[in-house]
């Protein structure tokens, strides 16, 4: 029995592949390498280069492997980019998820774990920490594209022999404590990565997008979850489905909010050196604050975070950034480039 990981060359997907292999699972990856890297996929996983919604490719994968479950990370994940290219986001996050689900159901694959997001709650969560039962009012195409996929999953599970867990991730950060994986995207926009790059002199400064939010210091507040705890929740979700568990939508976060300034100060403290910050206007699509109530994931999946400490998250991110200069000398096909990665 084999687990198919879509987007397994990406940031979260590559951590998932390591986690599954560590747990003794047989793993196949499909990834088109749009933002992921060939070198990020452990050699023990079988790799198919291509689109997660390429039906001919999926048929080949299903014919050559005994796929029992799909963990679907492949997608587009940048909130502001979805405002500039809404149809691209609906296509990659919703349309392609539909095609993949349909192929899976036709092939008799009954277990599906889906990457959803806190962005489904929109900018005015009724209460914080936010529960899964809060109003779903996504204000960006990104949040909307993921919510539409959640609804397709719900309806498919009601109609077919098919069960799923959709995990609503809050802000994922950090890197594998063993240093095998991390966030490697060029020109990443995620705050922790941006701040670590600035600390290491790879960016001139960090822009703070908005200082007039109704938060403790005026900057945006998020619930940062260590990527290793997140992929652990996926493994628990897989076990939940295998043991006959009901379809589930669950938040993944720690229930603790950090502002942009809190994060920047932590990176400076852990690294031991200051970097330049610049106060900038609010970024389109951003919300003031979003913090998870993850009671459901704890209760239904038995999920217990191990790295719920901002300092640990930052330390592992900095360690990965230091390694990345070496790793960046590989191109997307896994071949070593002849030049060093330019600094940002």
**Which parts of this chain interact with ligand NAD (CB under 6 A)?**
6-7, 9-13, 30-36, 51-53, 73-75, 77, 92, 96, 115, 117, 169, 171-172, 185
The answer to whether residue 79 forms part of the interface with ligand UPG (CB under 6 A) is: yes
Q: Would you call 307 a catalytic residue per the annotation? A: no
Of the candidate spans 94-102, 127-135, 156-164, 203-211, the one that interacts with ligand UPG by CB under 6 A turns out to be 203-211
* Closest approach of ligand NAD to the CB of residue 236, in Å: 17
Of the candidate spans 97-105, 117-125, 265-273, 310-318, the one that interacts with ligand UPG by CB under 6 A turns out to be 117-125
* Residue among 9 and 45 whose Cβ is closer to ligand UPG: 9
Among ligand NAD, ligand UPG, none, partner that 35 touches (CB below 5 to 8 angstroms by kind)? ligand NAD
The answer to whether residue 194 forms part of the interface with ligand UPG (CB under 6 A) is: yes
Kindly give, in sequence order, each residue whose CB lies less than 8 Å from that of residue 322, ignoring residues fewer than 6 positions away: 200
* Closest approach of ligand UPG to the CB of residue 260, in Å: 4
Which one from 11, 89, 90, 142 is the annotated catalytic residue?
142
Among ligand NAD, ligand UPG, none, partner that 74 touches (CB below 5 to 8 angstroms by kind)? ligand NAD
Among ligand UPG, ligand NAD, none, partner that 79 touches (CB below 5 to 8 angstroms by kind)? ligand UPG
Can you read off the two tokens belonging to residue 221? 């507040």
* Residue among 237 and 264 whose Cβ is closer to ligand UPG: 264
Among ligand NAD, ligand UPG, none, partner that 48 touches (CB below 5 to 8 angstroms by kind)? none
**Beta bridge partners of residue 332, listed in sequence order:** none
Of the candidate spans 13-21, 71-79, 92-100, 326-334, the one that interacts with ligand UPG by CB under 6 A turns out to be 71-79
* Residue among 55 and 212 whose Cβ is closer to ligand NAD: 55
Contact residues: ligand UPG, CB under 6 A: 77-79, 117-119, 169-171, 189-191, 194, 206-209, 220, 222, 260, 283, 286, 290
Tell me the catalytic residues. Answer: 142
């Amino acid at each position: 029995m084999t687990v198919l990981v879509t987007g397994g060359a990406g940031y979260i997907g590559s951590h998932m592949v390591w986690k599954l292999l560590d747990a003794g699972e047989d793993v196949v990856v499909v990834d088109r390498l749009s933002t992921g890297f060939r070198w990020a996929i452990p050699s023990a996983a079988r790799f198919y280069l291509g689109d997660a919604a390429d039906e001919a490719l999926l048929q080949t994968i299903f014919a050559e492997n005994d796929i029992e479950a799909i963990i679907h990370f492949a997608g587009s994940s940048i909130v502001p980019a979805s405002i500039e290219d809404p149809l691209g986001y609906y296509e990659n996050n919703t349309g392609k998820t539909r095609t993949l689900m349909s192929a899976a159901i036709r092939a008799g694959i009954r277990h599906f774990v889906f990457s959803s997001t806190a962005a489904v709650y929109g900018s005015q969560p009724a209460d914080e920490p936010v529960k899964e039962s809060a109003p779903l009012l996504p204000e960006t195409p990104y949040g909307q594209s993921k919510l539409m996929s959640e609804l397709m999953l719900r309806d498919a599970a009601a109609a077919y022999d098919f069960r799923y867990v959709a995990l609503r991730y809050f802000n994922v950060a950090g890197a594998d404590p063993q240093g095998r994986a991390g966030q490697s995207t060029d020109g990443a926009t995620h705050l922790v990565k941006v701040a670590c790059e600035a600390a290491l002199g790879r960016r001139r400064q960090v822009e703070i997008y908005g200082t007039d939010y109704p938060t403790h210091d005026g900057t945006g507040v998020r619930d940062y979850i260590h990527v290793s705890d997140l992929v652990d929740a996926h493994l628990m979700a897989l076990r939940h489905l295998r043991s006959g568990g009901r379809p589930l939508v669950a938040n993944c976060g720690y229930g603790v909010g950090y502002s942009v300034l809190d994060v920047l100060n932590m990176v400076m403290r852990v690294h031991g050196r200051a970097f330049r910050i610049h106060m900038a206007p609010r970024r389109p699509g951003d919300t003031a604050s979003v913090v998870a109530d993850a009671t459901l994931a704890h209760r239904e999946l038995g999920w217990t975070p191990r790295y719920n400490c901002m300092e640990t998250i930052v330390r592992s991110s900095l360690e990965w950034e230091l390694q990345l200069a070496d790793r960046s000398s590989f191109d997307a096909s896994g071949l070593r480039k002849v030049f060093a990665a330019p600094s940002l």
